[in-house]
Amino acid sequence: MPDRAAFARPAPEVAPLLLGARLTHRTPDGAVTVRLTEVEAYQGQGEDPGSHAHRGRTARNAVMFGEPGHLYTYFTYGMHTCANVVCLPPGSAGGVLLRGAEVLDGLELARSRRTTSRGDADLARGPARLALALGITLDDGGADLLAGDAFTLDLADEPVGTVRTGPRTGVSGPGGDAAAYPWRFWLEGDPTVSSYRSAVARRRVAKA
C-alpha cells in the first residue's frame, strides 16, 4: 500500500506515478482489478481552467479539497460516472482522472458490466468505461483508496514502459491549451489507451 504522502503533490507529478498501478474494487458481486494505462492531471482553484475546482469549492467538488488518496467521482453527460484520485494536502485541490486500464482480474464480472464492449481491450478504455468495469458509482465518491477496504491501490514497483504526454482529451477553452496543459499521460502502444479527441466547439443556435 503506498504512503499517502505520495499523493500530497501536484496532480501532474502524481499522474505518471499511477501508470502501471493496480486498482481493485471489491463489491458484493465480486472484485475487479485493473492496471492503469492512461490518466489526466487536473489542478485546483485559480490554476487550471479545465478543472472542476478552478472556481473554488462546491458541494460537487468538495472531495477534491480533502485528504489525498481518496476517490473523487462525478457524473457526466447525464449518464456516466468518472473516477479521479485526489491529490495535494487538504485545503488545496487536485485530481487525476483515470482514463484507461487493462482488466487483470475479475474479467467475467467486468464483461457482465460492459456488455457492449467490442473486446477485452475495450472493457476499460475511456474514463466512463473504466468506472463501469470496476463497478464505481457516484456513491463511491470520498472512498479512501489507501485504506484497503472496498478499494486497494498499489503503485507499480518497476518501470512500466514508455510514457507519453499530450493535451487532455475533450477539454475546451484555455484548459485545452496543449502547450500549457500537456497533462494527459499514457503508456505507449498499450491497446487499452483511448484515442485522443479534441474538444468540440458548441454551436449557437439562433432563436427566431
Mean pLDDT, rounded, for 164-173: 89
Q: Decide if 146 contacts 168 (C-beta within 8 A).
A: no
> CA 88 → CA 43, 52, 96, 100, 103, distances in Å?
9, 15, 11, 22, 28
Domain boundaries, the chain: 4-187
Right CATH for 4-187 from 3.10.300.10, 3.30.300.10, 3.90.550.10, 2.40.40.20: 3.10.300.10
- Is residue 100 within 8 Å of residue 128, measured between CB atoms? no
For the entire predicted model, the pTM comes to 0.91
Give pLDDT tens digits for 40-90.
999 988 888 888 888 888 888 999 999 999 999 999 876 799 999 999 999
**Nearest alpha carbon to residue 25 among 186, 166, 111, 145:** 145
